[in-house]
Amino acid sequence: MPKKPDHSAACTHLSRVDRKLARIIARTGPCALRPETAQSIFEALLESIIYQQLNGKVAANITARVKALFPENTRRIRTRRGLVDGFPSPEQILGATEERLRSAGLSRAKMLAIRDLAAKTLDGTVPTVKQAHHMTDEELIERLDSVRGIGRWTVEMLLIFRLGRPDVLAVDDYGIRKGFAKIQRLAALPKPKELLTYGERWRPYRSVACWYLWRAAEMKDLPMAGEQGGKSATPAKKSAAKAGTKGKRPRAKAR
């Protein structure tokens, strides 16, 4: 496994420029954000599509069933979770009938999305990891936005949790907006533009800032203005949940 990233410089900078975020950093401890390097871009986006708008356990079950559709695929990959079954290839996805893919529990929209993802991987629209490392964040967002079912937020999660980009601020993410509202004691979630403007002070470590905002969103004793501390916080969609213990897109992975 790759060496664990050292986020000490990022934490020092963020603590210096933002006293309120500094309190979250001190309370949470070292940043555990660690990219998952075992997956290809295709595999990371395939998993993202499956997880969209679903409970984590349900999505994990569907993911396992999609993999099980292809028993001939015996490849396994080593992740922080240990050795796990590999995803089907783009060729396998395109070679399967729509009915077969739907039998794993995929909605029609998701089935069409992963088929489009597979096709655009084979035609070169979806880059390899090596190619992606030579592209800017915005270039990747623009390129991958052409894939059905993939939008800016999904690509931002890819940038943070797969490619390890250090300066991504996902201003549309519910968990990030929720965490910001809590540390600022706001009564409502900030508008994305407001968060983007405020977040300029966090450069060039906005990805680490996101990780701590997800942590703030999970703190039940840290209320927004008008809330009582200790009440169960509104779940921060799949984002904050995902940001929990892993290192790729939000889904209880150490964000």
Which amino acids are annotated catalytic? 173
Chain-centroid distance, C-alpha 238: 9
Q: How far apart are the C-alpha atoms of 193 and 184, rounded to whole Å?
A: 16
Q: What is the CA radius of gyration of the chain?
A: 19
Chain-centroid distance, C-alpha 161: 6
Burial of 94 (0-12, 13-18, 19+ CB in 10 A): middle
**Pairing state between β 76-79 and 82-85:** antiparallel
Chain-centroid distance, C-alpha 172: 12
What per-residue string of b and e applies to 191-200 under the rule 16 or more CB within 10 Å gives b? Answer: eeeebeeebe
